Amino acid sequence: MKNQIRTAGVATALCALALPALAQDAAPDTTPPMADIGYIFTTFMFLVAGFLVFWMAAGFTMLEAGLVRQKNTTMQLMKNVALFSFAAVLYYLVGYNLMYPGDGNWIVEGWIGAFSLAALEPVGLADTATDLTYASVGSDFFFQLMFCATTASIVSGTLAERIKLWPFLFFVIVLTGVIYPIQASWKWGGGYLDAQLGFLDFAGSTVVHSVGGWAALAGALILGPRLGKYKDGRVHPMPGANLPLATLGTFILWLGWFGFNGGSQLYMDTAGNVADISRIFANTNTAAAGGAITALILTQLLYGKPDLTMVLNGALAGLVSITAEPLMPTLGSATLIGAVGGAIVVFAVPFLDRLRIDDVVGAIPVHLFCGIWGTLAVLATNPDATVTGQVLSIVIVGAFVFVCSAALWLALRAVTGIRVSEEDEITGLDVAELGMESYPEFSKG
Amino acid sequence: MKNQIRTAGVATALCALALPALAQDAAPDTTPPMADIGYIFTTFMFLVAGFLVFWMAAGFTMLEAGLVRQKNTTMQLMKNVALFSFAAVLYYLVGYNLMYPGDGNWIVEGWIGAFSLAALEPVGLADTATDLTYASVGSDFFFQLMFCATTASIVSGTLAERIKLWPFLFFVIVLTGVIYPIQASWKWGGGYLDAQLGFLDFAGSTVVHSVGGWAALAGALILGPRLGKYKDGRVHPMPGANLPLATLGTFILWLGWFGFNGGSQLYMDTAGNVADISRIFANTNTAAAGGAITALILTQLLYGKPDLTMVLNGALAGLVSITAEPLMPTLGSATLIGAVGGAIVVFAVPFLDRLRIDDVVGAIPVHLFCGIWGTLAVLATNPDATVTGQVLSIVIVGAFVFVCSAALWLALRAVTGIRVSEEDEITGLDVAELGMESYPEFSKG
Amino acid sequence: MKNQIRTAGVATALCALALPALAQDAAPDTTPPMADIGYIFTTFMFLVAGFLVFWMAAGFTMLEAGLVRQKNTTMQLMKNVALFSFAAVLYYLVGYNLMYPGDGNWIVEGWIGAFSLAALEPVGLADTATDLTYASVGSDFFFQLMFCATTASIVSGTLAERIKLWPFLFFVIVLTGVIYPIQASWKWGGGYLDAQLGFLDFAGSTVVHSVGGWAALAGALILGPRLGKYKDGRVHPMPGANLPLATLGTFILWLGWFGFNGGSQLYMDTAGNVADISRIFANTNTAAAGGAITALILTQLLYGKPDLTMVLNGALAGLVSITAEPLMPTLGSATLIGAVGGAIVVFAVPFLDRLRIDDVVGAIPVHLFCGIWGTLAVLATNPDATVTGQVLSIVIVGAFVFVCSAALWLALRAVTGIRVSEEDEITGLDVAELGMESYPEFSKG
Amino acid sequence: MKLIIATIKPFKLEEVRRALTAVGVRGMMVTEIKGFGSQSGHTEIYRGAEYAVNFVPKIKLEIVVPDTMADQVTDTIATAARTAKIGDGKIFVLDVAAALRVRTGETDDDAL
Amino acid sequence: MKLIIATIKPFKLEEVRRALTAVGVRGMMVTEIKGFGSQSGHTEIYRGAEYAVNFVPKIKLEIVVPDTMADQVTDTIATAARTAKIGDGKIFVLDVAAALRVRTGETDDDAL
Amino acid sequence: MKLIIATIKPFKLEEVRRALTAVGVRGMMVTEIKGFGSQSGHTEIYRGAEYAVNFVPKIKLEIVVPDTMADQVTDTIATAARTAKIGDGKIFVLDVAAALRVRTGETDDDAL
Ligand SMILES: Nc1ncnc2c1ncn2[C@@H]1O[C@H](COP(=O)(O)OP(=O)(O)O)[C@@H](O)[C@H]1O
Ligand SMILES: Nc1ncnc2c1ncn2[C@@H]1O[C@H](COP(=O)(O)OP(=O)(O)O)[C@@H](O)[C@H]1O
Ligand SMILES: Nc1ncnc2c1ncn2[C@@H]1O[C@H](COP(=O)(O)OP(=O)(O)O)[C@@H](O)[C@H]1O
């Protein structure tokens, strides 16, 4: 910390080596060289956006912990902390370079990136001729990692209350280390979806959200519904145990989404870029509001009483829907895009139930259906988008992720089993698998 | 996301059109033009401050959800998510231009702004000669919107546990679409309170907090106290059901307030401005601490036991009190201003009870009384403040908001009714109005 | 707020006085002078990092509120709100200048700083020739204050469920006003640990975390374990009452730590510095992940079931471990350093129990043991570190803090008593000391 | 002695307690329960699916009184708990063979 | 009249309730309890320390029925609650001296 | 058989359970209740307003034992639960007409 002598000394020395450009003459002057300024802006923007997206991990955790039954709450917390941790390490070990091989390092150009550990710049950018036109690798890695972790968080919600801990974590390891990065490289790594198909997905309605959704859908189909969810031809709701937590989680996600979408502008080095980030913040917010209001009004009309869990899903639906193109729409279109997302959720939740696909927190409607909707909505707001580019990419990414995920789930089911025993499911995973209750106290005394 | 080719291309192209000034010669150089830098700083500051103020919506939600009884918790969550969403849309549809008509667009100069949809700058500032001396419209809109929503959040706390959902939301729509923006234009839009009276209210002790407080007071008077709160000449406390949530909410608000007050500096383009923002952060923090400590000590002295809910209110009281002038005071005066706020709350809460005004979360003492106190305290710390300017503005704003709100509440009462039936109030709004309990589980099994 | 005329006027006027350098010619131009830019960057970085560290106060509160038994929850909330508030005021009254006396103001050079109130720069930097090579005093004060408060938060967790409120707060006052600042001046104020011993502690594994840990250890020894914790030669676990809160608290701390470590870079005025901050963010994150995964795997192996509370402690252990040197390690070493921290916690928690040292939340393993480990780990990653410098400093700081704390605890025990009565402890502090339950409702009706 | 078991609406608890105190009842046990009876049977909707809520929150009182007081206590509860709406609750009376106050060792009527 | 006290596994509640409704039971009181019995006795580990969990979550039903229905109700519960695994629970039957419906003042069998 | 209903201080639960196990009690039902009795009656202050807290947390035990064990069980509870301070609680004994173990169908004393 405040130890100006050492730190400043090191920093200045290192910079002097690395950045001869535009040096100021006054000796102790720390005015940044002109060339550094854009780099500092963009890098710092990534760090701020990155910590906001990190915060979404807490949001998913609280949302899911609030929407499961009490007897599975500790497990849901455990899964979320663990999945984020594994995602962080796997993205370092494999994911980052698989997703961003850079020019000429692809194993199969445009299709499969590079296998190597992620490496940051040297301290103080020493002895490197850093490209100052973008941002630091460290900030980019930090930011991108959070997107990867988000994908895994989506899966945990759908499969809650019945999946075993370790097979789930094994799936997360493969998802975050391999499946996510490979398909993400096709678009964001500059691969063939980007180069050949002109696919547009600004912040990842498809690349992140629908990917999580497809993996979740494959899991839900193979894992089957919770015991008693569909019995005697009827749906038996299993209300979430703690709605304040679910609401908190939604607000956290809403907040984190400003980083998710805003940071995806990737540059904050000009007035134009920062003005665009502002547009994105405003559009992201209004899309969430549109989704929430729509779900509120629709559940009031359809069921006579507004449903808080649907309103929360509606806000998230709005956020996912605007994610493929948060920049181009006007405030009005952004609100409408979000509103359609909110409507999708209200109809998709009971629709999935009719198909007996048991999605505990509504992740498939929110992330998969609205992810698709958001990706298609780009056609309406961004003239560069093409029907082929959007539709084909949705299909290709969907097929790839669904097939890989299904294969992996089936393999896991065959080898270790993925579902807890009936008895354990009835007892609850907290006691059965962890021996730890979320609210263990019986008596207040 | 990381799709450097496209995004950078677009951004640079657009900027090139818009910003010929100070271009660098190297082709792929993204060093920002000198003229952009202040704009980037201020805009980004608004975005950061804005997401902090957004976060206050979660703070109000948690605080209120913790201070109502369990049987009304889902409803309180619902109201807060919904009110924020409506505020977001209404501020776009009406509020923003009503509040900031800009020069020459007033309907009645200095009194009533313009009716039109808010519009952001074009993407990448294309084809506009943007004024680079301030910040992007998008960031300003985003930031200001959050203030508007705050006003509505204040109301929901006071009226909790007995008001019907839809009339409440209708009130919110009018408050955030019309009442708040009109009075805010008088000061922050450059209207007559600003121009003629020299009213000083840096971040809104009056313009935001007391406005919410007046609207809440009008509502509380017309709605009446909760059943059983004042019976047989005595006050019957109805303890909040979840103090950890209330404490979390307070911390969230405290955090958000750095954005609320700090962002209100409006510029971060010079050393002087950023140093001022720093002052504001430090003063805001110490005022909250002063308020909390005062409430702690006072409740210990008065009642023999410190009261956590008063300490939480005390911290918020400190925050509201410093909001009218967080810049000029020294750390010492800021602490004292906050401390007086904490004392006000400790005495005002039972005082309101004596008047049989039932304010569930203490929003009137915190936001109205301390809002007034904070506005008066400017006289002590800012030499530019005048007694007339401050007092008259408090009165004018108060009268306007109280009268409009009261009229609206009365109209709503006459037309739709605003209060749930006695039976529903006894049952709790969660079951009666929403059919959804916040903690629905009976048995752990 | 948006009152451009006044604010801009004042700001520009003041700046004009203060900052003649590099003025732009266009009249209403607000482009920052070149010399201001680095100062703005670093100052804003401190504000952002500072609010993140502030947020850690909420993290400690939630973590501790989740890990105590329900009957002591309100008290734990109260202690945390109060300790932060007192720390804020004490650091202003005494701590800041004691810690950072600046050149020539020491009472005893290198050993004891200055006694005086903290003072911020004048508004708008008016009439001062501010040194623009660092950051505003306000931002520095704001940032440093949060570190001081962190130290106190650590203590509250260990001593929970049995210590009296006011003696605890008295201890906090001395800790944050005197003990912490004095020892911190030795390193960060440029005192003898820094100047003579070449001690390296980037963000405070020793200066903050182990200091909190030593104070907690002294308290735990003198206060004794909770009634019934160690009975009949066995350990009787007292499970935390609310694991979602504990998990939320951990995520909050994880988020705040980006500010804690990142901000400790102290400069964001060059590409090198911002790239370093990025490294720190990435390393901090991966160390936490490493700690969590290690605790997950170890508890699975040792006990057959993973222990969520250990995984949460493991993440924090990773964070504390990387804090002494978050910059130099590669992602790989950072992960390993964190992983060792995670392992330490898994073994240290039962080890303390064997010594009958009752640490309610595991703060001693996390903050003291991993604080020491992290400080030693610097030897492996920073060539400038010396064995003498690191070991001697750990010992000196430890001895000083432990002795001072123990003396203070003993004095408090003699004068006022520090422990609640047996009966009050059985009843729970919430009812006995505060008369307020955290979840007061009995019936839902 | 008699054990009087009464199930009442939760919001009536305070009123019933006061009424009982007034007639000399000096102790009772109060339990939060779910009641099933004619009152129940509404359906709710959660995420688009209907389900029946069969149980309503109730409070159960258990009071042991000397035989002589039993009728008065029953009447007192019945009066205080009545709203004349469905779900007001029931009162059951059982015989108690013995009673003991732990603190003093007093037995039967003296223990109450 | 008889008071039938049954302790069952929580997940059996709905099944038992339905079975009871089918045989004409029109009311009951349901309480969340902890059971101690042969089922209990596993040890858990919390932060490295073992401890015994002696209590398991159970549901307690209390149903007052006319004497004539007692056996049928007992049988019905026994059938519906049985899993044949340890911890299925017990049923106890006690005599009830009097019953009263608060709403109407009906007594004894009419009150049920 | 007898149903022994005991209300004790919550922190005594474990001690009482151990003592009961030692004398051969193999099952019981435990409920969290609020007690009203001589112990109660302090006033609290919430946000400046006083109010009476009339109920204190208690644990209720319900144990069915063969007639022959009733006295011993009562004594055991009384001894283990005693602190000699107000609020130690009461023990009530009621007759049980029948008992059934759901799992096996065993009845009466065999069911316990
Ligand atoms: N046969 C019964 N045995 C035990 N408790 C009963 C019985 N019938 C009703 N109750 C209890 O009395 C409560 C009220 O009964 P209900 O039939 O709903 O209304 P009412 O008292 O107006 O007839 C129920 O919620 C339940 O707790
Ligand atoms: N003697 C008893 N008195 C009261 N309740 C009992 C008694 N024995 C058992 N129970 C209750 O019955 C439940 C099941 O009993 P347990 O002995 O575990 O299994 P089983 O019913 O298969 O014999 C216990 O959890 C407890 O609630
Ligand atoms: N008449 C009663 N009927 C049922 N329960 C009673 C009765 N009197 C007391 N109790 C229970 O016993 C508990 C202790 O009684 P109390 O009068 O406070 O103290 P003590 O047991 O020392 O006389 C009460 O909290 C209540 O739960």
Contacts of A133 in chain B (CB under 8 A): 8, 28-30
Q: Which two tokens stand for residue A59?
A: 């949001």
Q: How much of chain E exceeds pLDDT 70, in percent?
A: 98
Does the beta carbon of E86 lie inside 6 Å of ligand 2?
yes
| Bigger pLDDT: E73 vs C128 | E73
Contacts of B442 in chain D (CB under 8 A): 34, 55
Residue of B nearest to D83 (CA): B423
Task: Please determine, for residue C278, whether its predicted confidence score (pLDDT) is greater than 60.
Answer: yes
ipTM of the complex: 0.95
**pLDDT for res B9:** 32
Element (H, E) at D6: strand D2-8
Interchain CB contact of E16 with B (< 8 Å): no
d(CA A202, CA B389): 49
Which residues on neighbouring strands pair with residue A2, listed in sequence order?
Answer: none
**pLDDT for res C23:** 34
| Confidence label for B14 from pLDDT (cuts 50, 70 and 90) | very low
**pLDDT for res F108:** 83
Which DSSP string corresponds to A407-422?
HHHHHHHHHT-SB--H
Weakest mean pLDDT among B5-9, B133-137, D6-10: B5-9
Pocket test for ligand 3, best of F36, F90, F94 (most atoms within 8 A of CB): F90
d(CA B408, CA B419): 14
Superfamily of domain B34-115+136-443: Ammonium transporter AmtB like domains (1.10.3430.10)
User: CA nearest C287: which of C341, C228, C352?
Assistant: C341
**pLDDT for res C13:** 34
Burial category of A217 from C-beta neighbours within 10 Å (exposed 0-12, middle 13-18, buried 19 and up): buried
d(CA A381, CA D43): 43
- Using DSSP's 3-state secondary structure scheme, residue B176 falls into helix
d(CA A314, CA A310): 6
**pLDDT for res D41:** 66
d(CA B360, CA A412): 53
How close B372 comes to chain A (CA, Å)? 30
Kindly list the domain boundaries of chain A, sorted by start residue: 34-115+136-443
Owner of token pair 């899309």: A287
**pLDDT for res C24:** 35
**pLDDT for res A2:** 41
- Flag if F47 and B309 touch (Cβ within 8 Å): yes
User: CA nearest B429: which of B155, B77, B59?
Assistant: B77
Task: Please determine, for residue A16, whether its predicted confidence score (pLDDT) is greater than 70.
Answer: no
For A29-45, write each residue's pLDDT tens digit: 567 878 899 999 999 99
Name the E strands within C115-231.
230-231
Among the bound ligands, the one closest to the CA of F6: 3
**pLDDT for res B26:** 37
Classify residue C368 by its DSSP letter: I
Task: Please determine, for residue C37, whether its predicted confidence score (pLDDT) is greater than 90.
Answer: yes
**pLDDT for res C29:** 56
Average pLDDT of the residues in C255-271: 97
Pocket test for ligand 2, best of E36, E56, E86, E88 (most atoms within 8 A of CB): E36
Does the beta carbon of F39 lie inside 6 Å of ligand 3?
yes
Q: Looking at the partner chain, which of D13, D30, D57 has a beta carbon nearest the beta carbon of C444?
A: D57
How close D15 comes to chain E (CA, Å)? 15
Contact A124, A15 (CB under 8 A): yes
Partner D, chain C 426-445, Cβ-Cβ below 8 Å: 442-445
Q: Which of B231, B422, B434, B442 to mutate to test the interface with D (most CBs of D within 10 A)?
A: B442
For C316-340, write each residue's pLDDT tens digit: 999 999 999 999 999 999 999 999 9
Q: Which two tokens stand for residue C39?
A: 């100062």
Element (H, E) at A24: none
| Confidence label for D53 from pLDDT (cuts 50, 70 and 90) | confident
Average pLDDT of the residues in D37-52: 85
| Confidence label for B18 from pLDDT (cuts 50, 70 and 90) | very low
> Relative to the CA of D36, which ligand 1 atom is closest?
25
Q: Looking at the partner chain, which of C239, C268, C332 has a beta carbon nearest the beta carbon of A40?
A: C268
**pTM: predicted TM-score of the whole model, two decimal places:** 0.95
Contacts of D29 in chain F (CB under 8 A): 7, 33-36, 58, 60
User: CA nearest A7: which of C110, C134, C151?
Assistant: C134
| Confidence label for B283 from pLDDT (cuts 50, 70 and 90) | very high
> Relative to the CA of D111, which ligand 3 atom is closest?
23
Task: Please determine, for residue C7, whether its predicted confidence score (pLDDT) is greater than 50.
Answer: no
| Confidence label for B16 from pLDDT (cuts 50, 70 and 90) | very low
Alpha carbon C381 to its chain centroid, in Å, reads 23
Task: Please determine, for residue B4, whether its predicted confidence score (pLDDT) is greater than 60.
Answer: no
- Flag if D46 and B442 touch (Cβ within 8 Å): no
Neighbouring C-alpha atoms within 13 Å toward the C-beta of A409: 22
Which DSSP string corresponds to B33-84?
PHHHHHHHHHHHHHHHHHHHHHHHHHHHHHHHHHHS-GGGHHHHHHHHHHHH
Contact B345, B291 (CB under 8 A): yes
Average pLDDT of the residues in C410-438: 96
Number of other residues whose CB lies within 10 A of the CB of residue C215: 32
Calculate the average pLDDT of chain E.
Answer: 93
Q: Of all protein residues, whose CA lies closest to atom 23 belonging to ligand 2?
A: E87
Q: What are phi and psi of D21, to 5 degrees?
A: -60, -40
Does the beta carbon of E89 lie inside 6 Å of ligand 2?
yes
User: CA nearest F4: which of F18, F22, F16?
Assistant: F16
**pLDDT for res B401:** 98
Contact E85, F103 (CB under 8 A): yes
Task: Please determine, for residue C16, whether its predicted confidence score (pLDDT) is greater than 50.
Answer: no
Interchain CB contact of E29 with D (< 8 Å): yes
**pLDDT for res A8:** 34
Alpha carbon D79 to its chain centroid, in Å, reads 13
d(CA C98, CA C26): 45
Task: Please determine, for residue C299, whether its predicted confidence score (pLDDT) is greater than 50.
Answer: yes
| Confidence label for C351 from pLDDT (cuts 50, 70 and 90) | very high
d(CA E7, CA E23): 19
**pLDDT for res C244:** 98
Average pLDDT of the residues in D98-111: 91
- Using DSSP's 3-state secondary structure scheme, residue A112 falls into strand
Neighbouring C-alpha atoms within 13 Å toward the C-beta of A323: 32
Interchain CB contact of B145 with C (< 8 Å): no
Kindly list the domain boundaries of chain D, sorted by start residue: 2-111
Which residues on neighbouring strands pair with residue A235, listed in sequence order?
Answer: A230
Q: Considering just the CA atoms, what is the radius of gyration of chain A in Å?
A: 23
How close E69 comes to chain B (CA, Å)? 28
For B208-237, write each residue's pLDDT tens digit: 999 999 999 999 999 999 999 999 899 999
Q: Considering just the CA atoms, what is the radius of gyration of chain F in Å?
A: 17
Q: Of all protein residues, whose CA lies closest to atom 25 belonging to ligand 1?
A: D35
Q: How far is CA C51 from CA A273, B237, B272, E48, in A?
A: 25, 35, 20, 35
**pLDDT for res A10:** 34
Number of other residues whose CB lies within 10 A of the CB of residue C111: 14
Average pLDDT of the residues in D95-110: 93
For residue F27, report the distance from its CA to the centre of ligand 2, in Å: 5
The conformational region for residue B31 under phi > 0 = left, psi -120 to 50 = alpha, else beta, is beta
User: CA nearest B150: which of B373, B376, B371?
Assistant: B371
Weakest mean pLDDT among A171-185, B95-109, B119-133: B119-133
Alpha carbon E23 to its chain centroid, in Å, reads 16
**pLDDT for res A129:** 77
Interchain CB contact of B439 with A (< 8 Å): yes
Average pLDDT of the residues in C28-40: 80
| Confidence label for A186 from pLDDT (cuts 50, 70 and 90) | very high
**pLDDT for res B30:** 61
List own/partner pairs for B402-406 with CB under 8 A and 24 or more apart.
B402/B214, B402/B215, B402/B217, B402/B218, B404/B179, B405/B171, B405/B175, B405/B179, B405/B214, B405/B215, B405/B218, B405/B219, B406/B218, B406/B221, B406/B222
Q: Are strands F2-8 and F90-95 parallel, antiparallel or unpaired?
A: antiparallel
- Flag if F74 and D26 touch (Cβ within 8 Å): no
For F71-112, write each residue's pLDDT tens digit: 999 999 999 999 999 999 999 999 999 999 999 999 888 888
Among the bound ligands, the one closest to the CA of D112: 3
Task: Please determine, for residue C298, whether its predicted confidence score (pLDDT) is greater than 80.
Answer: yes
For residue B236, report the distance from its CA to the centre of ligand 2, in Å: 42
- Using DSSP's 3-state secondary structure scheme, residue C353 falls into helix
Handedness of CA F92, F93, F96, F100 (dihedral sign): positive
| Confidence label for B29 from pLDDT (cuts 50, 70 and 90) | low
Which DSSP string corresponds to E90-102?
EEEEEE--EEEET
| Confidence label for B25 from pLDDT (cuts 50, 70 and 90) | very low
| Confidence label for A438 from pLDDT (cuts 50, 70 and 90) | very high
How close B281 comes to chain C (CA, Å)? 7
Q: Looking at the partner chain, which of B426, B435, B442 has a beta carbon nearest the beta carbon of D45?
A: B435
Task: Please determine, for residue F29, whether its predicted confidence score (pLDDT) is greater than 80.
Answer: yes
| Confidence label for C272 from pLDDT (cuts 50, 70 and 90) | very high
Q: Looking at the partner chain, which of E1, E95, E100 has a beta carbon nearest the beta carbon of D91?
A: E100
Does the beta carbon of F87 lie inside 6 Å of ligand 3?
yes
Handedness of CA C291, C297, C301, C306 (dihedral sign): positive
d(CA D77, CA A234): 42
> Relative to the CA of F55, which ligand 3 atom is closest?
25
The most confident of the ranges B23-27, B326-330, D102-106 is B326-330
Partner B, chain D 57-86, Cβ-Cβ below 8 Å: none
**pLDDT for res A382:** 97
Task: Please determine, for residue D64, whether its predicted confidence score (pLDDT) is greater than 60.
Answer: yes
What residues contact C96, with CB distance under 8 A and at least 6 apart?
C118, C141, C144, C145, C181
**pLDDT for res C31:** 73
Average pLDDT of the residues in B153-159: 97
Q: How far is CA B221 from CA B217, B357, B407, in A?
A: 6, 6, 12
Which residues on neighbouring strands pair with residue D56, listed in sequence order?
Answer: D35
Q: How much of chain A exceeds pLDDT 90, in percent?
A: 87
**pLDDT for res A440:** 87
- Using DSSP's 3-state secondary structure scheme, residue B230 falls into strand
Q: Looking at the partner chain, which of F11, F46, F55 has a beta carbon nearest the beta carbon of C436?
A: F46
**pLDDT for res A128:** 77
Average pLDDT of the residues in A369-389: 97
- Assign a CATH topology to domain D2-111: Alpha-Beta Plaits (3.30.70)
Weakest mean pLDDT among B347-356, C56-65, C124-133: C124-133
Contact A2, C49 (CB under 8 A): no
Q: How far is CA A123 from CA A443, C334, E38, in A?
A: 55, 14, 63
What residues contact D68, with CB distance under 8 A and at least 6 apart?
none
Interchain CB contact of A28 with F (< 8 Å): no
Q: How much of chain D exceeds pLDDT 70, in percent?
A: 98
Contact E45, C305 (CB under 8 A): yes
What residues contact D21, with CB distance under 8 A and at least 6 apart?
none
What residues contact A402, with CB distance under 8 A and at least 6 apart?
A214, A215, A217, A218
Owner of token pair 């939301």: B169
**pLDDT for res A17:** 34
CA torsion, ordered A105, A109, A110, A111, to nearest 10 deg: -100
**pLDDT for res E41:** 66
- Using DSSP's 3-state secondary structure scheme, residue D100 falls into strand
Q: What are phi and psi of D88, to 5 degrees?
A: -65, -30
Does the beta carbon of F59 lie inside 6 Å of ligand 2?
no
For residue E37, report the distance from its CA to the centre of ligand 1, in Å: 29
